[in-house]
Amino acid sequence: MGENTVDLLATCWTSAGDVAPLDRDERSPFGVEQRVAGVAETGWWGIGLAQDDLFEVESTIGFRALKDVLGQAGLRGVEVELLTDWWETGERRKRSDRVRRLLFEAAAVLEARPIKIGTAFSRPLADVSPLVRPLRELADHAADHGVRVALEPMPFSMVGSVPLAARLVEQVGRENCGILVDSWHVFRAGTSLAELRACLDIATLFGVEIDDAAQPVVGTLFEDTVNERLLPGEGSFDLIGLIQLLTELGYAGPWGVEIISRRHRKLPLRQALVSAHDAALTVIQAARRLVDEPS
């Protein structure tokens, strides 16, 4: 397994600058062309963009022009996010459907990787059966547009762990509906590597994101996830073990890198991108060497 074939994707917050999830306006202070150029120039394979930035693109240069910008920069992958409230009704569903239309159109034009979806802040559900029908309907709608959806479990949400997400996706039973595994959510949920190995199916593992954190949670889980993430290798997570496991299961990338923190948001764009890229590459290469070593 060559170490020179590590495809790294700068997820939306890694290149977004001084803005955070659930800010009143989640648009990056950097223009999309500036972000694309910065990501390309610092060695990344691809870039992620969130819904508020995509609404901005739609109302200005348009998705077809953005596709040209990405191609000219040499980026080979793009990821779009985040759809929530897809199970809701009423006004929440109307707002969700507006984002759904945007993400489906963006994904189709940009040939995006699976659309990231999430669930609401909540204690994790013990029974995910109420979500099966709406997620199956979402997957079927996505299939009509030629796109896939990847559910990201988060420990402060309705689907709080990868094993719970795996159970839900299995019940949904659609080839274009899978799971996105984020190291922060894995380890903060207390999921062991053995539990991951037991529940993951490479056919439904649609994406991976890596990041790190200190051992203690700072504030609430949400405050910790949006303010205190560390670069891969700087914290307490067993990223080497996680990457080894995912590699042994057959996952070869691309590897998303999602750094969300007060410190990262304040960095100049190029510095933020170089530090995140190099830290992730170091950890992934170290894990791959262990996989490749003869037993």
Q: What is the mean pLDDT of each run of 10 residues along the chain (295 residues)?
A: 76 98 97 98 98 98 98 97 97 97 97 95 95 98 96 98 98 98 98 98 98 97 98 98 97 97 98 98 96 75
Is the CB of residue 238 less than 8 Å from the CB of residue 193?
yes
Identity at 102, one-letter amino acid code: L
Rounded to the nearest 5°, which phi and psi values hold at 209? Answer: -130, 140
The alpha carbon torsion through 120, 124, 130, 135 (nearest 10 deg) reads: 50
Contacts of 66 (CB under 8 A, 6+ apart): 32, 36, 57, 109, 110
89-101 as b/e, with b when 16 or more CB fall inside 10 Å? eeeeeeebeebbe
pLDDT tens digits, 202-259: 999 999 999 999 999 999 999 999 999 999 999 999 999 999 999 999 999 999 999 9
pLDDT at 294: 63
Q: What stretches of 103-245 adopt beta strand conformation (E)? A: 115-117, 149-151, 177-182, 205-210
As a whole number of angstroms, the distance between CA 54 and CA 32 comes to 9
Cβ(32)–Cβ(69) below 8 Å? yes
CATH topology of domain 3-290: TIM Barrel (3.20.20)
- pLDDT tens readout for residues 160-182: 999 999 999 999 999 999 999 99
d(CA 69, CA 32): 9
233: amino acid identity, one letter: G
Structure tokens at 56: 């901005």
State which H helix or E strand residue 49 sits in.
strand 46-50
Spatial distance between the Cα atoms of 144 and 104, rounded to a whole number of angstroms: 10
* pLDDT score, position 113: 85
CB 153 within 8 A of CB 185: yes
